[in-house]
Amino acid sequence: MTKAAERTVRVASGQGFWGDWLEAPRRQVEGGPVDYLMLDYLAEVTMSILQKQKERDPNMGYARDFVGAMDSVMPAVAGRGVRVIANAGGVNPPACAAAIRQVAAKQGVSDKVRIGVVTGDDVLPRLDELIAGGHALANMETGDPLSTVRDRVLSANAYIGSVPIVEALSKGANVVITGRSTDTALTMAPLRHEFGWKADDWDKLAAGIIAGHIIECGAQCSGGNCLYEWQTIPDLANVGYPIVDAVSDGSFYITKHPGTGGRISVPSIKEQLVYEMGDPHAYITPDVVADFTSIRLEQAGDDRVRVFGIKGRPATDKLKVSIAYRAGFKAVGTLVYAWPDALAKAKLADRVLRDRLKNLGLTFDEMLTEFVGVSAAHGPLAGELPEYPEVQLRFGVRGPDKAAVERFTRELAPLVLNGPPSVTGFAGGRPKVEEIVAYWPALVDKTVVQTKVEVA
């Protein structure tokens, strides 16, 4: 059988994070043939935001953008057999599924939609039982046991892999909604389902994971945020989101719909491969450990890159747990100083502000001054120019005492009339005090997490 005759499975990426382009999901199902639409909504701290929403309203706690996305792609799902896989369920996948059923009912296609709901990743109700059972849930960065912040924990979710998604697909779901699935499993699972890859097909599973890594950030592999020859990347206004075009042996192509903007090239794929990379020999997922040093790339046509040669090893016996906890308060405010001597004026304002905070007896865990236009991006590496047309003073504080952070927010505006001259840019009003929800990564034994799949 020649390569051209081999069956391929096409998985399209329609959302790289919650807040990504609203147009992308519809464009992916309308721009050309796709079998699956993959939508990734969850960043590290998203779960805690959703947990707060669920506390206020038990029918909330999922990515609301997904409802609009499903509204726009429902004709393709009901009419053309496109299947959708999304981790939009957040901390409340059943409520998310109910919202999608309403969309289907509104469009008169309820009989054509079977929703698979994956639960079991939420371990918040079981935290005390786990700690009592000897699971320290130590912070992977600091080594501290979770007990040190237990009373401030907002959410705790295990990253789950492809298995429950494959189960939902094999039970006939055409929309699969999960909670804290790994981003990469959303792409690997449909390939595993379609090609019948086994639980120990390590190389193929690793290939599916790497396909997922490449497309999980949406257009970041197809010309978006691409440094390589960025001036020449065509028509970003019309950027095409990526599609994995996979064959059963674990090799695949990354491509995009014809007539869209952006660029898929070996360099654009390389940039995405190294994004958020740790040890490239061991990219650990619940399903497999993928080896990024085995990846081979080849330009296979315009906006088409072949990815092959990928190796994987057996998965570990742990799952990563994403825990979010309350960690104090912060506020950040800005003022803009104009030529002449813009930087000198901003520096004087910084000294005046610090003196006033000190005189008020306010203390913080951290105070940070940045001069935007000078050193906010690259710090001291940027050096200083003799003259700047304008400089933004950006001042932030962080600490456990909300009242102190509140008081700080009142000290910025007065500088406009009682500080250094040629200042503007205060129209946005006082800085907002934000509660910090911090991230606590931990490991837990796989055996303690039981996922559940319901298809209806």
Partner 1 sequence: MKVRLLDIAHARSGDKGDTANVGVIALRPEWYPLLATYLSRDAVHEHFRGVITGDVERFELPNLGALNFLLHGALGGGGTVSLKTDAQGKVFSTAMLRLSIEIPDEEARRLKVPGRPEFPAFTRSHKE
131 sits near partner 1 (criterion: CB under 8 A): no
229 sits near partner 1 (criterion: CB under 8 A): yes
Nearest distance from C-beta of residue 371 to partner 1, angstroms:
10
- Long-range contacts, 221-224 (Cβ 8 Å, 24+): 221/254, 221/264, 221/268, 221/269, 221/271, 221/272, 222/254, 222/256, 222/262, 222/263, 222/264, 222/268, 222/303, 223/261, 223/262, 223/263, 223/264, 223/268, 224/262
Residue 115's nearest CA partner among 137, 140, 86 is 86
Q: What are phi and psi of 407, to 5 degrees?
A: -65, -40
295 sits near partner 1 (criterion: CB under 8 A): yes
User: Which range, of 161-169, 171-179, 187-195, 392-400, touches partner 1 by CB under 8 A?
Assistant: 392-400
User: Which positions from 169 to 198 touch partner 1 by CB under 8 A, shown as an x/- string?
Assistant: ------------------------------
Beta 36-39 vs 83-86: how paired, if at all? parallel
**Within 13 Å of residue 183, how many CA atoms lie on the same side as its CB?**
22
User: Which range, of 6-14, 80-88, 220-228, 244-252, touches partner 1 by CB under 8 A?
Assistant: 220-228
Among 306, 330, 345, 347, interactor with partner 1 by CB under 8 A: 330
267 sits near partner 1 (criterion: CB under 8 A): yes
Q: Which is nearer to partner 1, 197 or 440 (CB)?
A: 440
Contacts of 115 (CB under 8 A, 6+ apart): 97, 100, 101, 173, 175, 176, 177, 455, 456
Q: Which is nearer to partner 1, 294 or 422 (CB)?
A: 294
Q: Which is nearer to partner 1, 114 or 270 (CB)?
A: 270
Nearest distance from C-beta of residue 177 to partner 1, angstroms:
26
Nearest distance from C-beta of residue 254 to partner 1, angstroms:
14
CA distances from 277 to 64, 142, 274 (A): 29, 20, 5
Listing DSSP states for 197-262 in one string gives --TT-HHHHHHHHHHHHHHTTGGGGTTTT--TTGGG---GGGBPPPEEEE-TTS-EEEE--TT-BS
Q: Give how many residues touch partner 1 by CB under 8 A.
A: 54
Structure tokens at 321: 């747990």
Please give the residues from 89 up to 118 whose contact with partner 1 meets the rule CB under 8 A: none
At 417, is the secondary structure helix, strand, or coil? Answer: helix
232 sits near partner 1 (criterion: CB under 8 A): yes
User: Which range, of 23-31, 184-192, 206-214, 369-377, touches partner 1 by CB under 8 A?
Assistant: 369-377
Nearest distance from C-beta of residue 392 to partner 1, angstroms:
10
DSSP state of 145: -
Among 6, 22, 44, 314, interactor with partner 1 by CB under 8 A: 44
Among 4, 237, 381, 385, interactor with partner 1 by CB under 8 A: 381
CA distances from 218 to 172, 174, 188, 261, 264 (A): 26, 21, 15, 13, 12
6 sits near partner 1 (criterion: CB under 8 A): no
338 sits near partner 1 (criterion: CB under 8 A): no
265 sits near partner 1 (criterion: CB under 8 A): yes
Q: Which is nearer to partner 1, 163 or 327 (CB)?
A: 327
At 333, is the secondary structure helix, strand, or coil? Answer: strand
239 sits near partner 1 (criterion: CB under 8 A): no
Query: Residues in the site for partner 1, rule: CB under 8 A?
Result: 44-45, 141, 225, 227-229, 232, 263, 265-267, 270-281, 292-297, 299, 309, 327, 330, 332, 366, 368, 370, 372, 376-381, 394, 396-398, 436-439, 441
